[in-house]
Copies of this chain bind each other. A is one copy, B any other.
Amino acid sequence: MPDHAISPTRAADYPEWYQQVVRAADLAEQSPVRGCMVIKPHGYAIWERMQTILDRMFKASGHQNAYFPLFIPLSYLEKEAKHVEGFAKECAVVTHHRLELSPEGKLIPTGKLEEPLVVRPTSETIIGAMFAKWVQSWRDLPLLINQWANVVRWEMRPRLFLRTAEFLWQEGHTAHATREEAVEETLRMLDVYATFAERDLAMPVIRGPKPAAERFPGAVDTYSIEAMMQDGKALQAGTSHFLGQNFAHAQEIKFAGPTGAEEYCWTTSWGVSTRLIGAVIMTHSDDDGLVLPPRIAPTQVILLPIHRTPEEKDTVTAACRRIEAELSAARFGDEPVRVRTDARDMRGGEKTWQHIKQGVPLRVEIGPRDLAAGTVSLTRRDRPPKERTSLALDTFAALVPGLLEEIQQGLFKRACDFRQRKSVRLDSLDAVRAFFGSDGGGEGKGAGGFVHAHVADDPAVAEAFDPLKVTVRCIPMEGDDEPGPCIVTGKPVTRRSVLARSY
C-alpha cells in the first residue's frame, strides 16, 4: 500500500489528482459522446442529496416546480440580443426529425425542420414565452417557478462535473410586479444558495455582484457565490440574476396593474448545477480520495463485518443488523441516519479503502473480538485512516448524530481556515502581480488564492488582470464599506472586490 490512495497527490498535480479522485470514488466518467459525462450511481446519489435539500428550500420559499421543452426555436433566442450573443457559440442545433438507412446501411438525417431548434442552454426565452401567456393581472404575480432539467452548452475542453457539454441543474425563473420585489427575490435565492453551500456542503462562499463583463447575457445584475478550491482557485458555485425588464420586453411579459394600466414584469433567474459536485470534491477531498460532508453523504455510516468462521459470521451479522436498525432510527439533521452494511465477500483492507476513497464519514468495524469486549471500532474520514476509537457497543448509536455533526462542522471550519490563510488584502497592481506570479503561474502551484483589492467596474481592470489569468470574481456583500482608489484606474470605489484565478 502506497502512502496515499490517490496518485498523484494534490501537491504534485492538482488537476490530475482531481480526475483520480473522481475515478477512485466512482463518481462519473467520460462517455463516448464528446464532452458528455456519465454520472455513476455514487455521483448521482450525491446529486440526489443536493436536489432533495435544495428542492425543500425552494418550496419553503414559495416556488413550484414545472417542466418546459428541451427545444427552443431559433426565433425565440433571437429576441434578446445579448442573450443570443452569449450562447450562440455553444448551442447544439437540431435540424432534422428523422433518419433513413442508406443503401450502404448508414443512417442519414432526413425530414429537415422548417425552423431549426436549439437544445436549451438555459430557458429564459422559452419560459418567458409561457410567462407571457400566464401573467395577465397583478393578481398572477409573483410567479415563482423552478425547473430541474438537463441543459447543453457545447464545450470544447470538457472536465468531469466542472465543464461538460451536457449537465444537470435547476433553473429558477420568477416574474414580479415591481423592481424591488425582483431584486429581493434575486438576493433571497442567492442567500438560499449560500446557506446550502455553507450548512450542507460545508463550503464557505463569498456572495456578491459580478462586474459587468461577467454578467449573465441579458441580465441587469448577476450575483454569485464564489468558493475557494484547495489549489487557491475560485469556483463560481451558483448564480442569481436580476434580469430587470430585459426579457419581459423581449417576450412581452406584461400585466394589468390594480388601476388597469399595463406594465412590463420584472424577472429573475437563478441556478446551480452538477458542478457543485466538483466543488465539493475540490473543497474537502484529500490524498486518500473523496471526503463528503455528512449532510450530503449518501451513506453516512458504513458497517464492516469481520469474521473468519461460519459461527463468527452469524454472530457478527446479527450484531450488524441490530446496529443498523438502531442507527436508522437515530436522526441527523431532520432525517434518519443513512447507514449500510457492506457484507460483500472480499478482502477487508480492499473493502475499507473503497469506503475511504468514496468519502463515507464514519466506518465501523464489527468483529468477534470487539463484540466479546462489548465494543465497536470506529474510524472517521476526517482523521487519518488508522486512527481508531473503541466505543461501547450499547451507547455507540446514540453518539453517531453528534459525531456526524462534529465532522460536518470540522470540515466547514477547515475550509474556512484554509480560505483565510490563502486570502490577502493588497493595495497595488504590482502587489497583485507579485502575488499571482508575473508569468501567470502554473496550474496547481502558483494559483495563489483570493486577493481583496479595490477595483473599478471597468474594462481596463479586466485587461490589466488578463495576462495573470485573473478575474474579478465578485464584490463581497459581507462587512462594511471600505472606500479606496481602484488599483488599476485610480477611480474611487466603495468596497474591495475579490480577484482570483478560477474554474
Q: Which residues does A use to contact B, with CB under 8 Å?
A: 31-33, 36-41, 44-45, 47-48, 64-74, 76-78, 84, 88-101, 105-107, 109, 111, 116-119, 126, 129-130, 145, 149-150, 152, 154, 166, 168
Q: Is the CB of B32 within 8 A of A129?
A: yes
Question: What residues on B are CB-neighbors of A93 within 8 Å?
Answer: 94-99, 109
Q: Is the CB of A64 within 8 A of B45?
A: yes
Q: Is the CB of A107 within 8 A of B90?
A: no
Q: A73-B33, A118-B99 are in contact. Are A66 and B88 (CB under 8 A)?
A: no
Q: A64-B41, A70-B119 are in contact. Are A96 and B95 (CB under 8 A)?
A: yes
Q: Is the CB of A72 within 8 A of B33?
A: yes
Docked Cα-Cα span, A118 to B88, in Å, equals 20
Q: Is the CB of B44 within 8 A of A66?
A: yes
Please give the distance in Å from A23's CB to the nearest CB on chain B: 13
Docked Cα-Cα span, A97 to B36, in Å, equals 13
Please give the distance in Å from A385's CB to the nearest CB on chain B: 25
Question: What residues on B are CB-neighbors of A71 within 8 Å?
Answer: 33, 36, 92, 166
Please give the distance in Å from A65's CB to the nearest CB on chain B: 5
Partner of A109, one of B41, B95, B145: B95
Partner of A31, one of B91, B101, B126, B145: B126
Q: Is the CB of B119 within 8 A of A100?
A: no
Q: Is the CB of B118 within 8 A of A119?
A: no
Q: With A31-B130, A44-B65, A93-B99 given, can you name 16 additional A-B contacts, CB distance below 8 Å? A: A36-B69, A38-B66, A41-B64, A44-B64, A44-B66, A45-B64, A69-B166, A71-B92, A78-B105, A88-B98, A90-B97, A91-B97, A93-B98, A109-B116, A111-B154, A150-B150
In chain B, what residue has the closest Cβ to A67? Answer: B39
By Cβ-Cβ distance, the 8 closest A-B pairs, closest first, are: A36-B69, A41-B64, A39-B67, A88-B99, A93-B96, A93-B109, A97-B154, A33-B69
Interface centre among A97, A145, A166 (most CB of B within 10 A): A97
25 A-B contact pairs sorted by A residue (CB < 8 Å): A31-B68, A32-B73, A32-B76, A33-B117, A36-B69, A36-B71, A38-B66, A38-B69, A39-B67, A41-B66, A41-B145, A47-B67, A48-B65, A74-B106, A78-B106, A84-B101, A92-B96, A92-B117, A93-B99, A94-B94, A94-B95, A94-B119, A96-B116, A97-B154, A111-B154
In chain B, what residue has the closest Cβ to A154? Answer: B97
Q: Is the CB of A107 within 8 A of B88?
A: yes
Docked Cα-Cα span, A126 to B34, in Å, equals 13
Q: Is the CB of A88 within 8 A of B116?
A: no
Please give the distance in Å from A7's CB to the nearest CB on chain B: 22
Question: What residues on B are CB-neighbors of A107 within 8 Å?
Answer: 74, 77-78, 84, 88
Please give the distance in Å from A89's CB to the nearest CB on chain B: 5
In chain B, what residue has the closest Cβ to A344? Answer: B139
Docked Cα-Cα span, A461 to B70, in Å, equals 40
Question: What residues on B are CB-neighbors of A129 within 8 Å?
Answer: 31-32
Question: What residues on B are CB-neighbors of A33 within 8 Å?
Answer: 69, 71-73, 117, 126
Docked Cα-Cα span, A453 to B73, in Å, equals 48
Please give the distance in Å from A132's CB to the nearest CB on chain B: 10
Docked Cα-Cα span, A64 to B299, in Å, equals 13
Q: Is the CB of B66 within 8 A of A98?
A: no
Please give the distance in Å from A9's CB to the nearest CB on chain B: 27
Question: What residues on B are CB-neighbors of A70 within 8 Å?
Answer: 36, 119, 150, 152, 166
Question: What residues on B are CB-neighbors of A109 within 8 Å?
Answer: 93, 95, 116
Please give the distance in Å from A323's CB to the nearest CB on chain B: 21
Please give the distance in Å from A332's CB to the nearest CB on chain B: 20
Q: A66-B41, A89-B98, A93-B99 are in contact. Are A119 and B119 (CB under 8 A)?
A: yes
Question: What residues on B are CB-neighbors of A72 within 8 Å?
Answer: 33
In chain B, what residue has the closest Cβ to A70? Answer: B166
Partner of A38, one of B68, B74, B94, B168: B68
Question: What residues on B are CB-neighbors of A94 within 8 Å?
Answer: 92-95, 119
